[in-house]
């Protein structure tokens, strides 16, 4: 395989490599978001337990009951906000997983099929060329009947798949940016509300994310 002449389309191949890199980066986002969600969930649980410990202490320590109660209520509120942010993260993760595991993967599958079809075409094309142009002193080889026709079929298959992949990449870019931008805007609002201590705004962000429709597994028609 390393000795045959490869059919080259530099622009198409560069676009494919860009998408593969983008796919890897979305994978990093999904993994990091899941890790953040896990830590946040653990922190929320710890904050709620901290709140409960002060409440239980207030039942026995009359002299510092007010301070214990205030601390308990503060920590309960902090824990509830962490839970709300975690809910926002889970909505975000669900959408990013769809983009990463399904939407981009669908286009990559077409790209990989294109690459396989290109190899099949190149093998046949080079077999025909080698048979017609043997080394000096050797006679041209006779290939099985239908070899040229099979090569032409594989060429058409490769060109069709490449065209399908180009269309999918274009539609994917247009729709991916729109979907992810919307999700990021809602997540940014939730993060700002959480770190500013704005519980009402955080609750609103949870509601907004919950009613957003998850992106479709594929933005493009089946080809």
DSSP assignment of 185-206 equals HHHHHHHHHHHHT-HHHHHHHH
Query: How buried is residue 15: exposed, middle or buried, by Cβ count under 10 Å (0-12/13-18/19+)?
Result: middle
Q: What is the token pair recorded at 191?
A: 């993060």
pLDDT confidence band for 145 (50 / 70 / 90) = confident
Report the candidate in 132, 168, 134, 137 with the shortest Cα–Cα distance to residue 151. 132
Q: What is the dihedral of CA 109, 115, 120, 121, to 10 degrees?
A: 120
3-state secondary structure of 69: helix
Q: How far is it, in rounded angstroms, from Cα 37 to Cα 89? A: 6
pLDDT reported for residue 201: 80
DSSP character for 180?
H
Q: How far is it, in rounded angstroms, from Cα 36 to Cα 18? A: 27
Q: Residue 178: count other Cβ atoms within 10 Å of its Cβ.
A: 11
pLDDT at residue 137 greater than cutoff 70: no
pLDDT confidence band for 143 (50 / 70 / 90) = confident
pLDDT confidence band for 46 (50 / 70 / 90) = very high
pLDDT confidence band for 221 (50 / 70 / 90) = very low
What pTM, to 2 d.p., does this model score? 0.81
pLDDT at residue 215 greater than cutoff 70: no
Q: How far is it, in rounded angstroms, from Cα 61 to Cα 65? A: 6
pLDDT confidence band for 214 (50 / 70 / 90) = low
pLDDT reported for residue 213: 52
Phi/psi at 11 (5° precision) = -65, -45
Mean pLDDT on 106-121: 95
Alpha carbon of 214 to those of 92, 172, 208: distances in Å? 9, 16, 12
Q: What is the token pair recorded at 190?
A: 């939730």
**For residue 201, how many C-alpha atoms fall within 13 Å in the half-sphere facing its CB?**
13
Q: What is the token pair recorded at 17?
A: 């490599």
Q: How far is it, in rounded angstroms, from Cα 90 to Cα 183? A: 12
């Amino acid at each position: 395989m390393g000795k045959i002449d490869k059919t080259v389309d530099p622009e198409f191949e560069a676009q494919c490599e860009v998408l593969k890199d983008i796919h890897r980066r979305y994978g990093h986002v999904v993994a990091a978001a899941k890790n953040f969600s896990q830590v946040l969930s653990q922190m929320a649980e710890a904050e709620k337990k901290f709140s409960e410990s002060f409440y239980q202490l207030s039942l026995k320590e009359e002299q510092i009951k007010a301070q214990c109660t205030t601390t308990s209520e503060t920590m309960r509120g902090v824990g509830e906000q962490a839970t709300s942010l975690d809910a926002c993260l889970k909505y975000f993760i669900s959408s990013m997983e769809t983009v990463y595991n399904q939407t981009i993967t669908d286009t990559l599958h077409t790209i990989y099929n294109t690459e396989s079809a290109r190899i099949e075409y190149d093998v046949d094309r080079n077999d025909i060329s080698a048979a017609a142009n043997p080394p000096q002193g050797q006679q041209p080889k006779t290939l099985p009947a239908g070899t040229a026709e099979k090569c032409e079929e594989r060429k058409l298959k490769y060109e069709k798949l490449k065209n399908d992949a180009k269309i999918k990449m274009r539609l994917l870019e247009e729709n991916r940016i729109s979907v992810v931008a919307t999700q990021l805007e809602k997540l940014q609002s939730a993060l700002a509300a959480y770190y500013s201590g704005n519980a009402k705004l955080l609750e609103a962000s949870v509601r907004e994310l919950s009613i957003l429709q998850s992106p479709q597994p594929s933005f493009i028609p089946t080809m």
